[in-house]
Structure 1
Amino acid sequence: MRRLWQDLADLVFPADCAGCGEPRAELCGRCRAALHGRRARRVRPDPAPGGLPVVHAAAPYQDAVRAVLLAHKERGALGLAAPLGTALAGAAGVARGGAGGGGGEGGGAPTLLVPLPSTPRSTRARGHDPTRRVALAAARVLRGSGVPARVVPVLRQRRAVADQSGLNSRQRKANLKGALEVNARAVRLFGPGARVIIVDDLLTTGSSLAEAARALSADAGVRRISAAVIAAPAEAFEVNRN
């Protein structure tokens, strides 16, 4: 019911730009360009956890990009899923080996987007699963550009974890160690030649992505794993500026 009222309000009362507050523009041209106006680049946290796959990000996590991500994730601005999905598709396309979501390397091999799972508690509190919603939008963009992409939400938590906010990189790694598993019934989805890309909204320490890669490798035998995110700290881009 909460989500229905939110959707109706979005239709009746045009929102201001989530990035800069410009009136009557859910996402203005300037903020849209900040989100996906450049080619995705490889990013890496410092220090990086062991087992972290190669990660590509669409934009630095700052200013308008930060505001847009938070508006979608925490305030339920669901109309932002489409532009966020476009940004994620760009990062996934580069991670896959193509350019900006195009066909690129790998021909007709399927691209499987595996979203990091939200906890049931956070999903209930927010009224939606933001990562899965944006992953679905990204898959639509990729398919529209000729990439056979689909979302496979096969990861699940095998045990409870503490809230990650406020934890440093070492604490996050310990908190997440062995926390994820692949649904046994979903292992069959990872056929020969499939390209698996773990997707999330934001790269912080990389511990969540590393744990997801471990679970996919250990439980499903996946070997070709990369990762794509919408945003990452500016310093993570600087580490890979060359």
Structure 2
Amino acid sequence: MGPELSVAAGMLGRVLSAVLDLVLPSSCAGCGGQGASCCPRCFGALTAAPAARLPDPVPRGLPDCWSAARYEGAVRRLVVAYKERGLVVLAGVLAEALTHTVVAAVREGGHRLPDRGLVVVPVPSAWRSRRGRGHDHVGRLAGLVAGRLRQAGLAAEVWRGLRHTGRVADQAGLSGPERVANLAGSLQVAPAANGPPGAFALLVDDIVTTGATLAEAARTLRSSGLRVPLAVTVGATRRRSQKSYGDGR
């Protein structure tokens, strides 16, 4: 099977999986228990301890970075099921965790969100990765988070203005500083994008490891005149060694 057919087959499989998840009895993607795509226990693990979780070392320009939970156990399985297996029914659960994290950053971290001029900006995946997965997993989450913030009375809009400028080297095995150097200049504001509808950007991503991607995204947005004081993610990986940082970015 050629690469194009492999991608098409993978996309079809994810679509069928999502449809079946809607019409057949579900099992929890976090623990395998029957009854829901995310059971109350796993949802509790996802939302129980939002906190500022900064990588070590912190890359220059990284906004204050808050995550819903550590990227391990049930949390990791939920993210992988949504991101890689196309279980899009989990988008609402993960967006709820992200919104809960934003609230924690405001209440416990002293961040203030403007009533107007707030844009929720998803960190983009590379085009090839997005095509292979069959969906824009972070873009969908950012849209849902913006909607929940509007329900809370904030004039928030999602803005998908970032894009990749080209290919970067494989990040596997790179240290934090090496990832920063590898990603330098890898993002830009899309030429076709309208200007951001606000001046305050809330960065959203699924996981953070070294913080290199979030720092590069923040640098790009600041160069367009946006303030970027805060980033939120679903999970934060634990640093394993000087050279290996796990699955995040």
Identify the TM-score tier after normalising by the shorter chain: 0.7 to 0.9
Q: Is residue 2:153 matched to residue 1:146?
A: yes
1:99 deviates by: 6.9
Name segments (4+ residues, structure 1) moved above 6 Å. none
Match of 2:5 in 1: none
* C-alpha separation in 2, matches of 1:225 and 1:124: 30
Higher deviation after alignment, 109-118 or 198-207 = 109-118
Q: Deviations over 1:177-234 (max 9, x none)?
A: 111111245463254xx3211110101000001101111112x112343211111135
* C-alpha separation in 1, matches of 2:157 and 2:102: 12
- Structure 1 unaligned blocks of 5 or more: 237-242
| Structural mapping, 1:163-202, within 5 Å | 163-186=170-193, 188-191=195-198, 194-202=199-207
Task: Choose which of 38, 42, 45 in structure 2 pairs with 1:31.
Answer: 42
Q: 1:230 to 1:119 in 2, by over 3 A?
A: same
Given that 2:66 and 2:233 are in contact with CA atoms closer than 8 Å, whether structure 1 keeps it comes out as: yes
Higher deviation after alignment, 24-33 or 162-171 = 162-171
Tell me the secondary structure at the aligned position of residue 213 of structure 1: helix
Match of 1:239 in 2: none
| Structural mapping, 1:41-190, within 5 Å | 41-95=51-105, 97=106, 105-186=112-193, 188-190=195-197
1:147 deviates by: 2.2
Match of 2:3 in 1: none
Aligned length: 228
Tell me the secondary structure at the aligned position of residue 205 of structure 2: strand
Percent identity, aligned pairs only?
A: 42
* C-alpha separation in 1, matches of 2:218 and 2:170: 20
Given that 1:93 and 1:142 are in contact with CA atoms closer than 8 Å, whether structure 2 keeps it comes out as: no
The alignment's TM-score, normalised by the length of structure 2, stands at 0.83
Match of 2:243 in 1: none
Q: Deviations over 1:141-196 (max 9, x none)?
A: 222222222210111111211232332212211210111111245463254xx321
Give the letter for the 1:22 counterpart: G
| Structural mapping, 1:193-212, within 5 Å | 194-212=199-217
Tell me how large the CA RMSD over aligned residues is. Answer: 2.3
Tell me the secondary structure at the aligned position of residue 71 of structure 1: helix
Given that 1:92 and 1:197 are in contact with CA atoms closer than 8 Å, whether structure 2 keeps it comes out as: no
Given that 2:63 and 2:230 are in contact with CA atoms closer than 8 Å, whether structure 1 keeps it comes out as: yes
- Structure 2 unaligned blocks of 5 or more: 1-10, 241-249
* C-alpha separation in 2, matches of 1:82 and 1:169: 31
Q: 1:174 to 1:235 in 2, by over 3 A?
A: closer
Task: Choose which of 221, 229, 235 in structure 2 pairs with 1:231.
Answer: 235
Give the letter for the 2:25 counterpart: P
Given that 2:209 and 2:238 are in contact with CA atoms closer than 8 Å, whether structure 1 keeps it comes out as: no
1:22 deviates by: 0.4
Q: 1:226 to 1:34 in 2, by over 3 A?
A: same
